[in-house]
Structure 1
Amino acid sequence: MGLKFTVLSSGSTGNATLVANGEVTLMIDAGFSCRRIDELLAEREVSGQELSGILVTHEHSDHIKGLGAVARKYNLPIYANEKTWSSMEKAIGQIPEENRCLFGTGEAKDFGSLRVESFAISHDAAEPVGYCFYDGKEKLSVCTDLGYASDKVKAAIADSDVLVLEANHDIEMLRMGRYPWNIKRRILGDMGHLSNEATGELLSELLNGRIKRTYLAHLSREHNMPDLARMAVRGAMEDRGCFFKDSEFKLRDTFFDRPTPWDTVADL
């Protein structure tokens, strides 16, 4: 079957993604109420009983709001590094000891034939991570909530077939927006979020003939728009001499209120 995935919903109000390979189905983050997560799963014809576990990127509420409730309802293991566990324990409530699973930053775990590797990212959380998923020669990387892409991040997501990558904000929209300056400074800083231009710059370094699609994720509802994000990311890539045809590489949207269609990592 190979790897397939759907971004159930992505944005400042909540985040959750499914990755499956026919043997296991993992959810990355659970940033909505349990009821809303059940609704999103149903839209992609998945039930909570089909989930194999939940991977956590970091402890901010838009990534763990429904984590404890979903895990208890479906008796699911939760995978996170030690600092993230310590930071989110009060927020997610009681979890049975057998479902409290450590997944150290930089480690790899095998879930049947699906291998998952975590890697460190730069964000104002205890120990935030992204994840790479491997099934045979297929590679999918999920990387949001980072102020900048370090060399280690670039190395981790290099040679991905498909990326789910943050394009959080338009810099000028953010600067002119209603947020207080301390929050704007946080978002713009190295521990904040990637701008459209920063995402385009990163992609221009990664585009090597293997990567097929990038889903632009975690868009701010206040300071970005899907059309603007795609245009700005593409423009930033072209400014750096990185031109491409849509048949060779595609930029795709994610949504704050609905899932993306199921997509396969391998070309069909």
Structure 2
Amino acid sequence: MDENVMSENCFCQLASGSKGNALYVKGGDTAVLFDCGLSGRELERRMADRELDPTSLSAVVVSHEHTDHVSGAGIVCRRFGIPLFITEATFAGSTKKLGKTKAMDVEIMVCGTRFTVGSMEIHPFSISHDAADASGFRVTTGGSVLGVATDLGVAGHLVKEHLSGCDALVMESNHDPDLLYANPNYPWPLKQRVRSRVGHLSNEEAATLLDDLDRSRLKHLVLAHLSEENNTPDLALEAAYSVLNGSNTSITAAKQHLPTSVFSF
């Protein structure tokens, strides 16, 4: 177990990418899973790898209805008897992927309206992505703040407002445009979708967003949702280092098949 797991507030990106996403966040005696695009068995395996207890989970919060964010959420909620927080439009687009929704406690959240889960205050905010009602999150617990925005085509004023002044950030750095355009496996419409205002942030766009934020409290930055075909960890990290060079902020590129360390914030 990472030594930081003993902290009152900690987080771990259990999976990140187009094949599945899951972020574990703990504040005091409250633990929440943000998105679950993993099977129940795989989620438990990855949590065990970091000595995290799935039975301690208090809720699952879903950002949007795409399969890589929601496919395992229903299974986990039913298995551990915990509520699912989700916007109404996202729920409507997720019912088939969630499975037996009548056997679940579904709590409708609204972008722009804060809610609490135990000792954790969660403020969902709207982001630009090709989903019904995609959300980023500003999570406050024990006086510390974590910002989460992993699928956004453009970072406007609202995104910058909610990601500023955080102690930790989980932020998209999806692709390198040159690799994307040269990729023979991506048809042109898909390339256009990735680069659009409802697609995904490039490394350079993520660095520009980072440069626009208040980073005075920032201890940890996790670069998320890296494309396995159109990006590399080195390229994503290089762009982030160009902004954070000389700071005390730790930077990690999250992976699809391996959890990050457990970071305190």
Q: 1:59 aligns to what?
A: 65
Query: 1:101 Cα shift?
Result: 0.6
Query: 1:244 Cα shift?
Result: 3.2
State how far apart, in whole Å, the 1-side matches of 2:115 and 2:37 are: 23
* TM-score normalised by L of structure 1: 0.92
Consecutive unaligned residues in structure 1, runs of 5 or more: 238-242
1:189-200 correspondence runs (5 A): 189-200=196-207
Q: Is the 8 A contact 2:59 2:117 kept in 1?
A: no
SS at match of 2:14: strand
Q: 2:264 aligns to what?
A: 264
1:251 aligns with 2:251: yes
Query: 1:167 Cα shift?
Result: 0.2
Q: Deviations over 1:93-112 (max 9, x none)?
A: 11246611111111111222
1:166 to 169, 172, 175: 172
1:224 aligns with 2:231: yes
State how far apart, in whole Å, the 2-side matches of 1:15 and 1:230 are: 20
State how far apart, in whole Å, the 2-side matches of 1:208 and 1:157 are: 9
Q: Is the 8 A contact 1:134 1:140 kept in 2?
A: yes
2:124 to 108, 115, 118: 118
State how far apart, in whole Å, the 1-side matches of 2:228 and 2:151 are: 15
Q: Is the 8 A contact 1:25 1:52 kept in 2?
A: yes
SS at match of 2:101: coil
Q: Deviations over 1:91-150 (max 9, x none)?
A: 211124661111111111122221111000000000000111112321001111000101
State how far apart, in whole Å, the 2-side matches of 1:196 and 1:91 are: 30
State how far apart, in whole Å, the 2-side matches of 1:256 and 1:97 are: 30
Q: CA RMSD in A?
A: 1.4
1:41-60 correspondence runs (5 A): 41-60=47-66
| Identical positions, percent | 36
Q: Is the 8 A contact 2:78 2:103 kept in 1?
A: no
Q: 2:93 aligns to what?
A: 87
* TM-score normalised by L of structure 2: 0.93
State how far apart, in whole Å, the 1-side matches of 2:127 and 2:34 are: 15
State how far apart, in whole Å, the 2-side matches of 1:77 and 1:191 are: 29
Code of the residue aligned with 1:245 in structure 2: it is: G
Runs of 4+ with >4 A deviation: none
Q: Is the 8 A contact 1:31 1:64 kept in 2?
A: yes
State how far apart, in whole Å, the 2-side matches of 1:129 and 1:190 are: 15
State how far apart, in whole Å, the 1-side matches of 2:39 and 2:118 are: 29
State how far apart, in whole Å, the 1-side matches of 2:105 and 2:211 are: 40
Q: Is the 8 A contact 1:123 1:191 kept in 2?
A: yes
Q: Is the 8 A contact 2:153 2:197 kept in 1?
A: yes
